[in-house]
Amino acid sequence: MNQKISKRLKQVAQFVPQDARLVDVGSDHAYLPLFLVESGVIRYAIAGEVVSGPYQSARQNIQDSIYRDCIEVRLADGLAAFEEEDQMTVITIAGMGGRLIADILEAGKDKLRQMERLVLQPNNRESDVRAWLERNDFQLVAETILEEHGKFYEILVAEPGRKELTAIERQFGPYLVQEMSQDFQQKWKREAVKLQRALYQIPANHTMERTRMGEKIRQIKEVLDVSQ
Ligand code: SAM
């Protein structure tokens, strides 16, 4: 199992506290809960999956392991995978778009009252996730960014609480901006190049679109320059 888990999922696992009762939403193969149980970090998890194929594959992986009593696989949409009486304390949602993660949280937000921590790894639109957290009384307590197979992944860790973010923090991440790691700089340099190329393609008379794109590029440059 240890060899199967990606660097990205290992990093997500780093943010799951000892003895958490974990719900892994969109668990697919259930590698994350399996890794956490196997590592002795947690003793119980629910692996939630909405699609039958991945659900079956998660079930099979759990059945084939010695951790059958520690991980329950449930076929469910988002946070419908657990009930209050399950007394879950931490949710992980990894490997999906930021908008989908925000939608899943929104659809099940009544169930979040008991949660001590959310560990979220959007593949894109991280700012949508930060904005949702901010609107729903979750504050970021940690963030990290990593590169794997040429792609950059951000991990956002939130706990109950209120903290307003600036527009820059919402877009780039309050902790990530502070840390200004190599991966962070690479990600945004790459994004600026991509946007610049896109800008060249926009006809000169599409003024609003060009202005919006130009503003995004300017913002990235400003953030990267400040720390260099
Ligand atoms: N979490 C794993 C990871 O990070 O490697 C798997 C990521 S996989 C790309 C996304 C998984 O989320 C898919 O298996 C998909 O079926 C599942 N999924 C998408 N929307 C979901 C929802 N609303 N509820 C539960 N699972 C969902």
Q: Which residues contact 221 (CB under 8 A, 6 or more apart)?
A: 192
Pocket test for ligand 1, best of 6, 16, 25 (most atoms within 8 A of CB): 25
pLDDT digit string, tens, across residues 120-165: 999 999 999 999 999 999 999 999 999 999 999 999 999 999 999 9
Q: What's the pLDDT at 83?
A: 97
pTM reported for the whole predicted model: 0.96
pLDDT digit string, tens, across residues 171-211: 999 999 999 999 999 999 999 999 999 999 999 999 999 99
Ligand 1 touching residue 1 (CB < 6 A): no
Percent of the chain with pLDDT over 90: 96
pLDDT class for 4, splitting at 50, 70, 90? confident
Rounded-to-integer distance, Cα 118 and Cα 15, Å:
9
User: How remote is the CA of residue 222 from the centroid of ligand 1, in Å?
Assistant: 35
Pocket test for ligand 1, best of 51, 55, 59 (most atoms within 8 A of CB): 51
Q: Is pLDDT at 39 greater than 80 in this prediction?
A: yes
List helix spans (H) across 108-206. 126-135, 167-172, 174-179, 182-201
Exposed/middle/buried for residue 126 (C-beta within 10 Å: 0-12, 13-18, 19+): buried
At 30 the three-state DSSP class reads coil
Rounded-to-integer distance, Cα 123 and Cα 156, Å:
11
Rounded-to-integer distance, Cα 163 and Cα 71, Å:
34
User: How remote is the CA of residue 50 from the centroid of ligand 1, in Å?
Assistant: 7
CB of 155 closer than 8 Å to CB of 177? no
Exposed/middle/buried for residue 30 (C-beta within 10 Å: 0-12, 13-18, 19+): buried
Percent of the chain with pLDDT over 70: 97
Which residue did the predictor score with more confidence, 149 or 226? 149
Q: Is pLDDT at 228 greater than 70 in this prediction?
A: no
- CA distances to 61, 71, 114 from 37, rounded to whole Å, are 13, 8, 22
What is the layout of strands, in order, in the sheet containing 71-75? Answer: 71-75, 44-49, 21-25, 90-96, 117-122, 151-160, 138-148
Mean pLDDT of the chain: 96
Q: Which two tokens stand for residue 39?
A: 């590592």
Ligand 1 touching residue 95 (CB < 6 A): yes
pLDDT class for 37, splitting at 50, 70, 90? very high
Q: What's the pLDDT at 212?
A: 93
pLDDT class for 1, splitting at 50, 70, 90? low
Ligand 1 touching residue 58 (CB < 6 A): no
- Atom 8 in ligand 1: residue holding the nearest Cα: 95
User: How remote is the CA of residue 176 from the centroid of ligand 1, in Å?
Assistant: 25
